[in-house]
């Protein structure tokens, strides 16, 4: 069974922040759902929200759909392939987009694609909720994040913990402003960008 210990540890702290932003009836797009532990936990706890899980390949979709079905979740759609670096057809709009632990283990083009999707698929004043480690004011927030950053760069030079200024600038370019910054365990943050 696909399982992420990190996702299991951080799902509850993240949910505590999501409760402040997601409202009953919201339609939420999750980018990079992975094992699906987050979307299942959130959908169970926020039963009045609807969720669309996605990933760049369908390798875990049979596992994810089996888990969704086993939990009896009627507010989660079948997962679909979305590669943020590729054009995405369709016309569905969302109230919020949630993405965890993606932009630091992908080329910067993935962050650009994420904000591009958000700029076209979010309703007015919709929110992009972005979770992971970030570097603030050109300094990594903690020694553990510095080590993590170096390990990512060693694996792929285009990966790495992202500078908050660069993410904010990308938001500005695509019509978003950061209106929430939440510290979470293990030196991670949940950033909230609102579509202007």
Mean pLDDT by groups of 10 residues along the chain of 196 residues: 89 98 97 97 98 96 96 97 89 94 97 97 95 84 87 97 96 98 95 96
The domain tally of the chain equals 1
CB 106 within 8 A of CB 56: no
What CATH number is attached to the domain comprising 181?
Answer: 3.40.50.150
Indicate the angle between helix axes 37-45 and 5-21, nearest 10 degrees: 40
Closest by Cα among 105, 112, 65 to 87 = 112
pLDDT of residue 141: 67
Closest by Cα among 162, 158, 110 to 141 = 162
Q: What beta strand segments (E) does 62-161 contain? A: 80-81, 94-100, 122-132, 134-136, 139-140
For residue 79, the enclosing domain spans: 5-195
Closest by Cα among 121, 52, 115 to 90 = 121
pLDDT of residue 106: 97
Q: How far is CA 54 from the centre of its chain?
A: 10
pLDDT of residue 138: 65
CB 193 within 8 A of CB 176: yes
How far apart are alpha carbons 38 and 8 in whole angstroms? Answer: 8
Contacts of 71 (CB under 8 A, 6+ apart): 40, 43, 44
pLDDT of residue 90: 72
In this structure, how many other beta carbons lie within 10 angstroms of the beta carbon of residue 25? 9
Q: Determine phi and psi for 85, rounding to 5 degrees.
A: -90, 0
pTM of the model: 0.96
């Amino acid at each position: 069974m696909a399982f992420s210990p990190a996702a299991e540890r951080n799902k509850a702290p993240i949910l505590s922040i999501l409760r402040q932003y997601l409202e009953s009836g919201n339609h939420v797009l999750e980018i990079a759902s992975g094992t699906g532990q987050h979307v299942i936990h959130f959908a169970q706890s926020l039963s009045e929200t609807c969720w669309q899980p996605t990933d760049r390949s369908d390798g875990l979709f049979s596992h994810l759909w089996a888990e969704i079905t086993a939990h009896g979740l009627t507010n989660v759609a079948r997962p679909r392939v979305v590669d943020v670096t590729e054009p995405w057809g369709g016309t569905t709009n969302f109230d919020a987009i949630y993405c965890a632990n993606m932009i630091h283990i992908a080329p910067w083009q993935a962050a650009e694609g994420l904000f591009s999707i958000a700029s076209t698929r979010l309703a007015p004043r919709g929110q992009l909720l972005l979770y992971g480690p970030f570097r603030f004011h050109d300094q990594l927030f903690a020694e553990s994040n510095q080590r993590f950053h170096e390990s990512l760069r060693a694996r792929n030079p285009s990966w790495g913990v992202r500078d908050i200024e660069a993410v904010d600038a990308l938001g500005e370019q695509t019509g978003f402003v950061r209106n929430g910054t939440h510290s979470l365990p293990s030196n991670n943050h949940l950033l909230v960008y609102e579509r202007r």
